[in-house]
Amino acid sequence: MADRGRASACLFFDINHPVQALLFRPVIERLAAAGYRCRVFARDKDVTLGLLDGFGIQASTLGARRRGRLGALIELMTREARLLRLALAERPEAILGTSVHAARVGRLSRAVSIVVNDDDAAAVPLFASLAYPFADLIVKPACLDFEKHPKQVSYRGNQQLFYLHPARFTPDPAIGQELAIGPGQPFGVIRLSALDAHHDAGVRGLSRAHLVEIARRIPKDMVVFASLEQAQDLPESWRTLTLPPQRIHHVLAAARFFVGDGQTMTAEAAVLGTPALRLNDFVGRISYLKELESYGMAFGFRPGQEQTLLSVLTEILNERRPRASFEAARARFLSDMVDPLPWFSDLVVNRLHPHA
């Protein structure tokens, strides 16, 4: 593929969330090496800009982040107008992203629009209704083939494999030194999400009372690191995870367990072979997580099932569910899936230059 791109060809990447920075990083690097000029636009959300900067990827913002429904609408309109103006001036061959803008601006600027998404349309109906009708390609994991969208192309796997596939990611065995814990010191990770996206309205996650119950189950010789999207009142023995965001996957790979109320980090932990427990109202509604649960790599619990989560966590801590069983499940999962990076990169090149 290295000689198939064209040096004059420009690609726009519209990145709105940290996971998209992780997903598109290897794609950008691979397509840039093939001769494409990659322009990256990113929303200032959570650690997105920090991740891109840490990866050495120069990104431009299209407007300040706004809060509230009216603010979100103003932000969307501002970002879309600015992206359209840039697209009309620079004429990219394609616009890629998990955003409404990638599809709509692509249509208006006559660029190929490639929307990459792993959420069920039923879980993100507003996004699906605004983006899918205008997209040229909708790239999804095969677990969403039941949606049968006419522009859909699929791969066996999930988005986490773009950046956590063993072909690209090797856990750093020295991560404990960065965490300031002793050699072989066991630790777990708790992830508390802000749940403030438009599709998170009314969604419940981990409560303070449940965190206290979890703390009571943790052995005294085990350290707990909490990863927070916003300030939280934590059990006093827990430590706030303060490493650079690009190091979090090394932490997840070495953790004895992961408990969270968001989707992305639950999937990341599971793909790395770490027992991943999640509690929120999305459980049962997200197909790529249901797939991980079917392999025994992750567990989903809805509000009201806190005691069941505690029981499973206790079994993991007591090694009645040994780590080896999760690593075996990961091996089965990887053998059934593809490495999506070369597949996707070839898809883009073949769509733009079918005779190259």
Q: What does the block give as tokens for 332?
A: 């089965």
User: Which stretch of 80-84, 253-257, 293-297 has the lowest confidence by average pLDDT?
Assistant: 80-84
Q: Do domains 10-156+338-352 and 175-336 have the same CATH topology?
A: yes
Q: CA angle at residue 170 from 165 to 171, to 5 degrees?
A: 120
CATH code of the domain made up of 175-336: 3.40.50.2000
Q: What does the block give as tokens for 112?
A: 């190929």
Per-position DSSP letters for 61-104, written without gaps between them: --S----HHHHHHHHHHHHHHHHHHHHHHH--SEEEESSHHHHH
Q: Return d(Cα 296, Cα 283) in angstroms, integer.
A: 15
Greatest mean pLDDT among 157-166, 199-208, 214-223, 226-235 lies in 157-166
Q: Are 304 and 312 in contact (CB under 8 A)?
A: no
Whether residue 188 is predicted with pLDDT greater than 70 in this model: the reply is yes
Q: What is the mean pLDDT of residues 207-230?
A: 88
Band of residue 200 on the pLDDT scale cut at 50, 70, 90: very low
Query: Taking Cα atoms as reference points, which of 114, 54, 91, 63 lies closest to residue 248?
Result: 54
Predicted TM-score (pTM) of this structure: 0.91
pLDDT of res. 100? 85
Q: Are 39 and 13 in contact (CB under 8 A)?
A: yes
Q: Return d(Cα 27, Cα 14) in angstroms, integer.
A: 13
Q: What does the domain layout of the chain look like in residue ranges?
A: 10-156+338-352, 175-336
Q: Which residue has the higher pLDDT, 242 or 195?
A: 242
Q: What is the mean pLDDT of residues 33-39?
A: 94
Whether residue 160 is predicted with pLDDT greater than 90 in this model: the reply is yes
pLDDT of res. 355? 65
Band of residue 4 on the pLDDT scale cut at 50, 70, 90: very low
Q: Which residue has the higher pLDDT, 202 or 324?
A: 324
Mean pLDDT score of the chain:
90
Whether residue 197 is predicted with pLDDT greater than 60 in this model: the reply is no
pLDDT of res. 99? 83
The helix-helix angle for 208-217 and 306-317 (nearest 10°) equals 20
pLDDT of res. 16? 87
Amino acid 318 reads N
10-156+338-352 under CATH 3.40.50.2000, yes or no:
yes
Span 95-119, pLDDT tens digits: 999 888 888 899 999 999 999 999 9
Q: Are 192 and 260 in contact (CB under 8 A)?
A: yes
Cα torsion for 260, 298, 268, 120, to the nearest 10°?
Answer: -90
CA 185 to chain centre: 28
Beta-carbon contacts of residue 80 (< 8 Å; ≥ 6 apart): 100, 101, 104, 105
Whether residue 199 is predicted with pLDDT greater than 60 in this model: the reply is no
The three-state (H, E, C) secondary structure of 66-78, written as one string: CCHHHHHHHHHHH
Q: What is the DSSP letter of 4?
A: T
Question: How many C-alpha atoms does 343 have within 13 Å on its Cβ side?
Answer: 16
Q: What is the DSSP letter of 302?
A: -
Burial letters for 127-136: b for 16+ Cβ neighbours within 10 Å, e otherwise?
bbebbbebbb
